[in-house]
Structure 1
Amino acid sequence: MVMQKWTSLLLLVASAPQYGFCFTSPLPLTSLTKDPPSTRVDFTIKDANTSYRGLATSSSTASTSSSIQDAVSDTNSASSPASHYDSVVVGGGPAGLLAGIMLAQMQPIDASISDGQRPRIVVFDRLPPPPSPDNLVYSTDISKYYLLGLGHRGQRALRRFKVWDDVSKASVAVMGRRDWSPGKTREEDGVVRMSDKAVVSRVLARDKLVGVLKEVIDTRYKGVIDLKYGYQVDPVSFGDDCGSQVQLQVSQCIPLNDNEECSIENGNMVPATITTNFLIGADGAARTIANAMETNDVERRQRMNPLRRLFDKPQFRVTRKLLGDDVMTDVAKKPSSNLPGFRFAGPKLHEGGRTVILGDCIHTVKPYYGLGANTALEDVMILSDILNSTPDLSRSLNAAVEQFTKERSADSQALVTLSRGMDRPGKLGTVRFVLPLVLDSIFNKMAPKVFGPSMFGMFQKEGIGFRQIQRKKRLDRAMQSAVILSGLTLVGFGTKTLVKTVAKSLGLKSEVVGGSMFGLLALTSVARKLFAKKTETNA
């Protein structure tokens, strides 16, 4: 791609004077997926029906490894989950933790539950807790962490739930970038391009953002939100539209010691099933909840009367990666290569009347344009707006989850489609990436009220969804094509008229005059190139 021919470095203006200007180069995609030399925390999840084995990777530094091991130990020695929660969030990433904070700021779904008796919200995650946001590893070993750029979407969501000040202190501002031409390596050879955006992006490591949100929960929502790390959650029943509760099977994992397989703790400590009034799936690309929703929807349709099936809503689908998890180990041993990373779930984002999914599990994109995490945080904000505007949630929760599908399903698919369209491989992909940017730049300068800015410019505009962006760019392409075709038609008609006029005045055939004019243009072009080459040689 054309982007690979240039090395773009972010110009970071640090929030503290001692940092000054910091330059960091974006990592290749393959380096984000390849295991670096690190301390690995293996775990196995077992219960009567399933066996799951996973891998959690921490930093290679001793301090970080120690903190993660201690955190896992503390988590596994903590009290078992309760048998019932008002709300359950599956996934402890940015979207999952922010969803927990959002729910804590609301009234309970079940009005009979009050804060102070016991935690009414629980957030489950399969991995160990993240390092503390104050851990020095974030500044000394930055290459080990995936950096997030928080734009207007993410910042607006974090401000909504009063955590932006905490996140802002842990991040740095991106004021622009420095570009180097091929073959140029000196710092003074780079060209600084300052950004002209209404909202200045802030950058921090993804794990650091998770650490900040976890710290907010630990300090402000203790006793309201229960954080459970090292847990696998599998839906047993999504309930139904009439209001029955969601049932979940929960299994706790213990880290391996000396390569011995681990098992879940005593069954008396970990309930076989728990129930909840409201389930949010925010488990990213793992998609435990989304996959269970798909299976449930397939089984429901199979039991349905064939005639009724014709008029039923579209079946829920999860688009999948081309390579399964069983192949990924072998692929990782091979030389670096590009793997497909764009997936979405839909057309509905809810199951029954008490479950929704959001974040990366409904729109998985590559980390090029700062859209994944920002859109996931925006999902939480939109869900909050819907829940707060729905009267009597204990009776109308099904209407709220259906409304979330209406507002976010099309946008999620449009986000993945737009991102995928800018990441096509090969020379044709390069043309499809560069040509629209050039056309948008030209036409937007000619008629800014008619033609929108480039796709990147549209992403930075506030108050516009991805579905609207998709429709706008389709309209722009149609109008640009019409203008170009009209221009070519006029040029062709004018050239033909000119040839006929000259031929008539000279008493020659039009073909002779046309060929002569074409030959003259070709000779002129060759002469200009020879003259330029000679001038360059003399210089």
Structure 2
Amino acid sequence: MTRTCTTTSMRARASPRTRVLSNARREATTRGINRRSVLQPRQQGWRVARGALGDDATHAKRPASAVIVGGGPTGLATAIALARRGWTNVEVWERLQKPAPSADTSVWGDAKRSYNVGLSGRGQSVLKDLDLFDEVIDKCAVVKGRMDWGPDGEPKERLANKTYDTQVIQRDRLVSVLVEAIEKKYSDKVSIMYNVAAVDCEFTEEGVKLERGPCDDTCDLAAAVSVGTTTSPVVFGAEGNSMRSAVVREMDENKSCRTKIVKFPNKNARVYKTIPLYLPSHMRKDLNYSARKGGVALECLPTKEGVLVGIMLVKPDDEETCTKLSSKDSLKQFFQQEFPMFVDYIRDEDIEDMAKSKFFGLPSFGYVEKSLNMGGQAVLLGDSIHTVKPYFGLGVNSAWEDVRILIDSLDKADGDTNVAFPEYTKKRVADAKALVTLSRSFDGGFLTFVLPLIVDSIFNKIAPWLFMPNTIQMLQKEEWSFSDIKKRKWLDRVMQGAVIASLATTLARAVFQLLRQFLFPFIVRTLARGGA
């Protein structure tokens, strides 16, 4: 790549803070929202799906076969959930090669093998429903908090206060665990085809016609060569992080389908390289180590084997830094000057490998709106419907929630996709948009990201019964849907605005009274003496 890398009597005694909060409460009430609805998520919709994956009810109206396009965490979780409900002849098409065995420490001890993904409470609950929690957690490392180095170079440890521990695992290793579960329990119902992509898609009366061919993550689908055709009654589009899937493309272009892709320009682009870090025995290995210098960030997450996977993020148009990261000597000097706190934990051979490696890009934001299905023939889920940057562990966790809600819809329809797929769209399409909208706010600067977090923290500390925690913390609350979080944070902004406006009005009145009582008479007396 190019390196351009309340009552009258009470009010009389109330403090200004109490009056201000009362104003905020009245502001919420005038908008038709009472205190109970303000503080709690809806008790319907997506929450009904909680636990649905744990059922093994057989779908009597299931189709004879199905193709799942995409063999990542989303596609494989979908395949497992369908197999548990009696679906057979399920093919999973995966562009990449089959991953190494999940227990092979010689492979997964290599921090360059795959980037880490975080499993929050949302994702962990899905794993429990699929009876895969123990298998996955056995290959994970626990993250209990962060160790951040600020501009002054001093580290600060912050432990998370959550009801669960975040688990991190290499993305490809997670895939390996899911593959092994299919091979062990569902090999008679699910088959996985590697090095196979859906290079074209067409909806016909006979079913969904898919052209298959070799095409890895870097190839152009438009230029890919078809080596065969498969017609399936049902297709699940679960290709992650693409927004260029043949299934998504056909649904977007097909006039009889309401599906529309919304893409956003990458205004805060970042590229990255990875490097392993080896911490000494006395240092905690259950923290996310992080440091920032200028426009460069280094984020390090642990692996099961104890090695940290370091990801260095840089702006692609920062030509000077990109050049430094591409030479062993200059990269070593860069670490010594900018990130000296990590120098003792990095090996020379790894610096050389990092310098030689290519830059990888982060995805741009995008989502699918209006419809997530094409009748009963096709349905989309995962990153295909909500692509976000992997900053706060929203990708795989939100994708698995898609699976849960889709399976819940299929359960209620007894496997009838003509009924279930439109119902899934109703339940999930607003969440797909809300997730991307909320995530985009994290990708800005001080005004759109840092300041709202500070304001939220202040108001939540003053009145936790009225104001919710910041958006990042809210996204970790699995009992809240993304669309509910978006609405709730909008309400917080309204009430915060009311509080700030009330404070400003109170302050202005106080200043005016001071001026009226002291300054104005002083000016009048001064003018009078001058006239005399």
Of 247, 253, 270, which aligns to 1:295?
253
Aligned CA distance change for structure 1 residues 495 and 163 (closer, same or farther; 3 Å): same
Q: State the match for 2:237 in structure 1.
A: 281
1:87 and 1:121 in contact (8 A); partners too: yes
Q: Report 1:25-424 matches (<5 A).
A: 86-108=65-87, 120-137=89-106, 139-184=108-153, 189-234=154-199, 236-239=201-204, 244-251=206-213, 272-286=228-242, 287-297=245-255, 300=256, 315-320=258-263, 322=265, 335=319, 336=322, 341-391=364-414, 393=415, 396-424=416-444
Distance 1:509 1:139 in 2: 83
Distance 2:482 2:142 in 1: 25
1:250 and 1:273 in contact (8 A); partners too: yes
The AA in structure 1 aligned to 2:241 is: A
* CA deviations over 1:56-81 (Å, ceiling 9, x no partner): xxxxxxxxxxxxxxxxxxxxxxxxxx
Distance 1:479 1:409 in 2: 27
RMSD, aligned CA: 3.1
1:508 deviates by 2.9
1:145 deviates by 2.0
RCO comparison, higher one (Cα < 8 Å, 6+): 2
1:279 deviates by 1.2
1:452 and 1:476 in contact (8 A); partners too: yes
TM-score, structure 1 as length reference = 0.64
1:100 and 1:121 in contact (8 A); partners too: yes
Q: State the match for 1:477 in structure 2.
A: 493
1:199 deviates by 1.8
Distance 2:526 2:441 in 1: 45
Q: Aligned residue pairs: how many? A: 375
Distance 1:126 1:191 in 2: 42
Distance 1:263 1:422 in 2: 39
Deviating beyond 6 angstroms after TM superposition, the runs of 4 or more aligned structure 1 residues are 331-334, 337-340, 509-512
Secondary structure at the aligned position of 2:405 is classed as: helix
The AA in structure 1 aligned to 2:213 is: S
Q: State the match for 2:330 in structure 1.
A: none
1:178 and 1:191 in contact (8 A); partners too: yes
Q: Structure 1: where are the runs of 5+ without partners? A: 1-29, 35-83, 109-118, 255-261, 265-269, 302-314, 513-539
Identity across matched positions, percent? 36
Secondary structure at the aligned position of 1:413 is classed as: helix
Secondary structure at the aligned position of 2:241 is classed as: helix
Distance 1:202 1:176 in 2: 11
Q: State the match for 1:456 in structure 2.
A: 472
Distance 2:77 2:482 in 1: 22
Aligned CA distance change for structure 1 residues 334 and 499 (closer, same or farther; 3 Å): closer
Distance 2:108 2:176 in 1: 14
The AA in structure 2 aligned to 1:101 is: I
**Structure with bigger gyration radius:** 1
1:130 and 1:210 in contact (8 A); partners too: yes
* CA deviations over 1:155-185 (Å, ceiling 9, x no partner): 111111111111010101111111222242x
Distance 1:490 1:511 in 2: 30
1:319 deviates by 2.7
Secondary structure at the aligned position of 1:402 is classed as: helix
Distance 1:397 1:368 in 2: 34
Distance 1:504 1:295 in 2: 71
2:362 and 2:389 in contact (8 A); partners too: no
